[in-house]
Amino acid sequence: MSLSEDTLHEILARLPHDRAELLPALDEVNSRLGYLSRPAIESIARHLRLPVREVYGAATFYSMWNVSAAPVEVVHLCDDGPCHAMGAAAVRRALDQAGVEVKRTSCIGQCGCGPVVMADGRLYRNVTSRTVQAVLSGKEPEPLPLADEVIGIEVEDRAHALLQNVGQINPQSLDEAVKAGAYQALRKALTTMTPEQVVSEITTAGAQGRGGAGFPAGLKMRFTAAGAKSTGGQAYVVCNADESEPATFKDRILIGGDPHRLLDAMAIAGYAIGAREGYIYIRGEYVEQAELLKHSIEQAEKAGYLGHTIMGTGFDFHIHLHRGAGAYICGEETALIESLEGKRGEPRLRPPYPTTNGVNGRATLVNNVETLYNLPGIITHGAAWYRQYGAEKAPGTKLYPVSGHVKRTGCLEAPLGKFTLRQVIEGPCGGMRDGAPFKACHLGGAAGAMVGPGFLDVPLEFGACMAAGAMLGAGDIVALDANTCVVDYLRAVAAFFRAESCGKCTPCRVGTERQIQIMTDLSSGRGTLQQLDEIISWSELMTDSSFCGLGQTASTAVVSGLKLFREEFEAHVRGECPARVCRL
């Protein structure tokens, strides 16, 4: 396929000569042409008045784009932890045998239904070596309604649940969203509260960030509001919907089932910190969710819930949608801001933090999708109401995306600390599949730790998990049964970090490469005992001296797995795979 000069001209003519338009321009050309040709890159550079090398730098940074024509028939297979645990390697062998070009892709946010294959623009879930032929013949994939991905809302009063409307309302309908309560909280905030009162209510509620670090949401708002005052009053709200960490798929469910609640929350946050503009940065693979959000923003603007003088109050708030293009690092808040500004998504040095120096150098509040979904409830019902659920030091409910070897995978919502891992597995998940005993759990996403049976009775709450030696992170649970080879599983985790390291700093760039080399050696019978020590020393180096959180946590899973299952690693050095998974 070739893109004519005229078409290219037509695409570029619609875009202002603004650097922030670089990613949208590259995305459109890539989707129309199938790749980013040299002449297209040069035209974009001319239009945006950027050096060609910068455009080329961005074009090669994001995995959803190609700079050379891709083979006609490529099948994309996810082989990150949860999909690998569910048999992605066997699917790969079947695809190879069928003579198809297979491209590994990082997680695409469907981890409860792995292995996942993308072919010809279609998404196939729960693929096995037996169903590969159906994929190759272009058979329409089975739909999976969002409601079926919710495995439980364990909250007595449904009004407290973040998932309260998912599967209950038509997400395309503003009327249904409004009947279910959308924009009531925003109206209350704008008509009865000062911005300081909004910040104060959220601080008293004790809501913590759900993006992984659990940072107090009210405190971050306070810092950003102060940052906005010190930088001339301009500020931004950024919703982090990048959700690219293997095992995480909760934000997709919230957005897909109840998009207006996110817009309601962002406008409340904007009012609180003095921002008039907000951005939703959504991962490029979430095409349907991005379209839904675009539609919802248009609806809300038309109805006066967003835009100029919202509900006649004089408060203006505009939301812009920005799509990523395949890079896990863009979930890191400073890399996300770089990407929003039209650059390669490489993290910035912190401090200064986004609360004072974020988008365009202005104060910026970056919050995770799930964090924001907490705001309307707090504003409508008050902090005391919010604190009725959850733990004393970790109030509210939490979404737990569950994948791996349980009978029912999907997203669970429960008050923080109410459930232990055992209760999640035995309750909403219906137990381990095929009666195989539990062996381990990878908790908190790819960057989280491996935990063993000794962790089964720890309450799933930030502090309790940390005290027991693992971070709850975004709440992800990958349950692994006794047939799992820990070395093989962790090789897939190491491959993810090697693929996603942005390469800006040496400890992470080299460390993630060395980590995957060692894990590959171990899982193919070439490993040595010295390499087990090397894993630890590389981990110390990466943790202590990497530039950002990706490198600092890239070895957490491997090292915790080595500590818990050292005898299994040593067996591999002797040429034995106790689970008989690795071909040694």
Ligand X SMILES: Cc1cc2nc3c(=O)[nH]c(=O)nc-3n(C[C@H](O)[C@H](O)[C@H](O)COP(=O)(O)O)c2cc1C
Contact 113, 148 (CB under 8 A): no
> What character string, x for contact with ligand FES (CB under 6 A) and - otherwise, covers 208-247?
--------------------------------------x-
Amino acid of residue 499: A
Nearest to 477, CA basis, from 441, 430, 449, 440 = 441
Which partner in ligand FES, ligand SF4, ligand X, none is near 78 (CB below 5 to 8 A by kind)? ligand FES
Q: Is beta strand 235-241 parallel, antiparallel or unpaired with respect to 277-282?
A: parallel
- The residue with tokens 């008039």 is 276
How many residues are present in the chain?
Answer: 584
Q: How far is the CB of 459 from ligand FES (least distance, A)?
A: 26
List of E strands, 292-432: 318-323, 363-368, 390-391, 394-395, 397-404, 410-415
Among 108, 253, 391, 493, binds ligand FES (CB under 6 A): 108
At residue 20, φ and ψ (nearest 5 deg) are: -65, -15
Widest pairwise Cα distance in the chain:
73
Q: What is the DSSP string of 421-443?
A: HHHHHHTTT-SBGGGPPEEEEEE
Stretch that binds ligand X, among 98-106, 360-368, 390-398, 507-515 (CB under 6 A): 360-368
Is 317 or 547 the residue whose CB approaches ligand SF4 more closely? 547
Among 33, 502, 557, 582, binds ligand SF4 (CB under 6 A): 502
Using alpha carbons only, give the angle 316, 318, 323 rounded to the nearest 5 degrees.
165
Q: How far is the CB of 539 from ligand FES (least distance, A)?
A: 23
Which partner in ligand X, ligand FES, ligand SF4, none is near 215 (CB below 5 to 8 A by kind)? ligand X
Is 267 or 329 the residue whose CB approaches ligand SF4 more closely? 329
Q: How far is the CB of 326 from ligand SF4 (least distance, A)?
A: 15
In order of 104, 132, 288, the CA distances from 139 in angstroms are: 21, 10, 20
Nearest to 177, CA basis, from 18, 334, 297 = 297
Q: Under the criterion CB under 6 A, does residue 473 sit at the interface with ligand FES?
A: no
Which partner in ligand FES, ligand SF4, ligand X, none is near 509 (CB below 5 to 8 A by kind)? ligand SF4
Class of residue 176 by CB neighbours under 10 A (exposed 0-12, middle 13-18, buried 19+) = middle
Subset of 298-357 contacting ligand X (CB under 6 A): 328-329, 331-333
Among 22, 29, 78, 146, binds ligand FES (CB under 6 A): 78
Among 29, 83, 225, 522, binds ligand FES (CB under 6 A): 83
What are 417's two structure tokens? 């600390």
Three-state DSSP string of 211-233? CCCCCEHHHHHHHHHHHHHHCCC
Which partner in ligand SF4, ligand X, ligand FES, none is near 333 (CB below 5 to 8 A by kind)? ligand X
Q: Under the criterion CB under 6 A, does residue 471 sit at the interface with ligand X?
A: no
Q: Under the criterion CB under 6 A, does residue 371 sit at the interface with ligand X?
A: yes
**Is residue 235 within a helix (H) or strand (E), and if so which, with residue range?**
strand 235-241
Looking at residue 406, what DSSP letter applies?
B
Q: Under the criterion CB under 6 A, does residue 324 sit at the interface with ligand SF4?
A: no
Is 97 or 506 the residue whose CB approaches ligand SF4 more closely? 506
Q: What is the DSSP string of 442-455?
A: EESSTTS-EE-GGG
Stretch that binds ligand FES, among 74-82, 223-231, 507-515, 518-526 (CB under 6 A): 74-82
Q: Under the criterion CB under 6 A, does residue 511 sit at the interface with ligand FES?
A: no
Alpha-carbon dihedral sign for residues 257, 259, 264, 266: positive
What are 519's two structure tokens? 């894990």
> What character string, x for contact with ligand X (CB under 6 A) and - otherwise, covers 202-231?
-------xxxxx-x----x-----------
Q: Under the criterion CB under 6 A, does residue 501 sit at the interface with ligand SF4?
A: yes
> What character string, x for contact with ligand X (CB under 6 A) and - otherwise, covers 37-56?
--------------------
Nearest to 559, CA basis, from 546, 578, 574, 540 = 540
Which partner in ligand X, ligand FES, ligand SF4, none is near 110 (CB below 5 to 8 A by kind)? ligand FES
Q: How far is the CB of 371 from ligand X (least distance, A)?
A: 3
Among 319, 548, 557, 559, binds ligand SF4 (CB under 6 A): 548
Q: How far is the CB of 82 from ligand SF4 (least distance, A)?
A: 21
Which partner in ligand FES, ligand SF4, ligand X, none is near 114 (CB below 5 to 8 A by kind)? ligand FES
Nearest to 56, CA basis, from 37, 29, 70 = 37
Helix count and strand count (H, E) for the chain:
27, 16
Q: Under the criterion CB under 6 A, does residue 550 sit at the interface with ligand X?
A: yes
How far apart are the C-alpha atoms of 313 and 485, rounded to whole Å? 60
Which partner in ligand FES, ligand SF4, ligand X, none is near 213 (CB below 5 to 8 A by kind)? ligand X
Which partner in ligand X, ligand FES, ligand SF4, none is near 546 (CB below 5 to 8 A by kind)? ligand SF4
Using alpha carbons only, give the angle 408, 409, 415 rounded to the nearest 5 degrees.
100
Under rule CB under 6 A, how many of the chain's residues touch ligand X? 24
Q: Under the criterion CB under 6 A, does residue 546 sit at the interface with ligand SF4?
A: yes
Among 548, 557, 559, 571, binds ligand X (CB under 6 A): 548
Torsion angle of C-alpha atoms 156, 160, 162, 168, degrees rounded to 10 = 70
Looking at residue 122, what DSSP letter applies?
E
> What character string, x for contact with ligand FES (CB under 6 A) and - otherwise, covers 111-130?
x--x-x--------------
Among 21, 80, 258, 370, binds ligand FES (CB under 6 A): 80
Q: Under the criterion CB under 6 A, does residue 550 sit at the interface with ligand SF4?
A: yes
What are 151's two structure tokens? 């495995």
Given the rule CB under 6 A, which residues bind ligand SF4? 329, 347, 501-505, 508-509, 546-548, 550-551
Given the rule CB under 6 A, which residues bind ligand X? 209-213, 215, 220, 240, 242-245, 328-329, 331-333, 366-368, 371, 548-550
